[in-house]
């Protein structure tokens, strides 16, 4: 009899334990947490040496599934993995559950307070919105080549140093400082109260030049809007603002919108200027050869062959894919990597390139940097070649940049691409 009672007691205790564990896990499952450090690694298992599935920035919200020792099993963006408990701050939701059993009057008061808080938060967010224009740095920080926490740093900017915000992407802003462009977090920008409360003032942020043969200036920032006027290559325009891939410009007293990809910071090389450049280079080559011939040995230099008219066509084709997403190993418009993008574009012109950026450096003929022409392949890398793009003129390339940006246009005359320039090839 005593034995039976002991068995029943054990069964009851086990049942209570299972039920308690169930409710503890349910409570955790109902909780959310936020990343509390600059960068947190989501790992495949609860082990510091396991595979990294994803990296999250500070304040990224995650859903807690369960706790395992010093680790939390979490789900975020459809991915399930493990975060160390010291990398996140857990938001306990017991308060909200208890509030559901308060009186109707208390609930009404609470709702009114929440409404007021939301309104206040919205007002603060509206006041602190950063727009295109000039600002000061809030604290010492370094510019990054792309808007990612663990991206490569370029230059350091000091507190109170003046910078120009040229582009905004989620919680990141692209700024120009010390003749270099790079990305920093929004919180690194000072937003004076006087600026917050006032409406944005339209000021000229830069002068740009049309980089295509004919460009439409539209009344609104979309491709179906009314065409105000047409501009030819190298026409100068005053850029008032930039947003969502469009630039608001002023030209000949008229204001309108042009796709940002159709503007460059420098004038394009026309056929006349390229011809003059080749004549000058040929003259230099002849002079060098004749001078060296009087010495013990003769040195000759080779002028890169003049491009065919297809170079400009290649550029126009490549620009059509601006905005396509970046996918490692991708070779189609559904997703490109850098060499997959160049291979896809040139295949349309009957040119088969090697698959990798390093492999493409053996295609075509070498071109010096000061002889670059639209349609040339340009290679970059710190230790060996690991990136390639298509030169479009004006010191810029169109390329599949990274997961954050996809296919876009960048300058090679400053920042990362200027420092890590390797060489160029002419393949058409």
Closest CA to 154 of 134, 138, 131, 178: 178
327: CB partners within 8 A, 6+ apart: 334, 335, 336, 337
Exposure of 360 by Cβ count < 10 A (0-12 exposed, 13-18 middle, 19+ buried)? Answer: buried
Residue 344 to residue 320: CA distance in whole angstroms:
12
Active site residues: 338, 387, 399
Six token digits for residue 278: 């080749």
Q: Are strands 263-264 and 162-169 parallel, antiparallel or unpaired?
A: unpaired
Under a CB-based contact definition with an 8 Å cutoff, are residues 357 and 345 in contact? no
> What is the number of alpha carbons within 13 Å of residue 355 lying toward its C-beta?
4
Distance CA 86, CA 136 (A): 33
Q: Nearest 10 degrees: CA dihedral of 366, 370, 373, 377?
A: 40
β-pair partners for 247 = 242, 258
The CA distance from 248 to 406, in Å, is 23
Q: Whole-angstrom Cα distance, residue 129 to residue 132?
A: 10
Helix locations, 73-188, DSSP H: 94-99, 104-127
**Closest by CA position to 375, among listed 359, 383, 363:** 363
* C-alpha span between 165 and 182 (Å, rounded): 10
Element (H, E) at 183: strand 180-185
Which two tokens mark 222?
């979309």
- Strands (DSSP E) contained in 13-140 are 32-35, 39-43, 52-57, 61-68, 71-76, 79-84, 88-91, 133-137
User: What value does the CA radius of gyration of the chain take, rounded to a whole number of Å?
Assistant: 29
Q: Is 229 helix (H, G, I), strand (E, B) or coil?
A: strand
DSSP 344: H
- The H or E element that residue 284 is part of is helix 271-293
């Amino acid at each position: 009899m005593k034995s039976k009672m002991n068995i029943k007691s054990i069964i009851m205790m086990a049942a209570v334990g299972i039920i308690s564990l169930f409710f503890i896990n349910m409570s955790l499952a109902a909780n959310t947490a936020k990343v509390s450090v600059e960068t947190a690694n989501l790992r495949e298992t609860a082990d510091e040496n396991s595979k990294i599935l994803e990296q999250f920035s500070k304040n990224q919200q995650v859903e807690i599934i369960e706790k395992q020792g010093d680790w939390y099993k979490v789900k975020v963006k459809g991915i399930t993995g493990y975060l160390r408990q010291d990398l996140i701050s857990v938001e306990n939701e017991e308060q909200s559950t208890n509030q559901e059993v308060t009186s109707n009057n208390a609930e009404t008061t609470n709702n009114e307070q929440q409404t007021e808080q939301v309104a206040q938060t919205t007002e603060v967010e509206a006041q602190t919105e950063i727009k295109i224009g000039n600002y000061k740095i809030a604290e010492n920080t370094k510019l990054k080549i792309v808007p990612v926490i663990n991206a490569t740093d370029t230059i350091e900017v000091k507190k109170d140093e003046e910078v120009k915000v040229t582009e905004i992407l989620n919680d990141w802003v692209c700024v120009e400082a010390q003749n270099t462009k790079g990305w920093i977090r929004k919180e690194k920008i000072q937003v004076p109260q006087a600026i917050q409360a006032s409406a944005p003032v339209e000021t000229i942020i830069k002068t740009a030049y049309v980089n295509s043969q004919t460009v439409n200036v539209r009344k609104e920032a979309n491709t179906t809007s009314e065409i105000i006027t047409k501009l030819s290559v190298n026409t100068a325009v005053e850029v008032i603002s930039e947003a969502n891939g469009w630039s608001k410009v002023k030209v000949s007293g008229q204001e309108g919108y042009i796709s940002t990809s159709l503007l460059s910071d420098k004038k394009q090389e026309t056929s006349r200027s390229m011809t003059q450049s080749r004549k000058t280079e040929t003259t230099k080559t002849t002079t060098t050869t004749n001078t060296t011939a009087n010495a013990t040995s003769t040195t000759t230099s080779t002028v890169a062959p003049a491009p065919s008219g297809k170079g400009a066509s290649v550029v126009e084709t490549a620009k059509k894919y601006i905005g396509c997403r970046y996918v490692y190993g991708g070779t189609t418009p559904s997703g490109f990597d850098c060499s997959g993008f160049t291979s896809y574009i040139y295949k349309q012109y009957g040119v088969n390139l090697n698959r990798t950026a390093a492999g493409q450096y053996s295609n075509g003929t070498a071109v010096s940097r000061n002889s670059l022409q639209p349609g040339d392949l340009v290679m970059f890398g710190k230790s060996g070649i690991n990136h390639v793009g298509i030169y479009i003129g004006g010191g810029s390339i169109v390329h599949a940049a990274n997961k954050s940006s996809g296919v876009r246009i960048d300058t090679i005359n400053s920042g990362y691409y200027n420092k890590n320039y390797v060489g160029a090839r002419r393949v058409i």
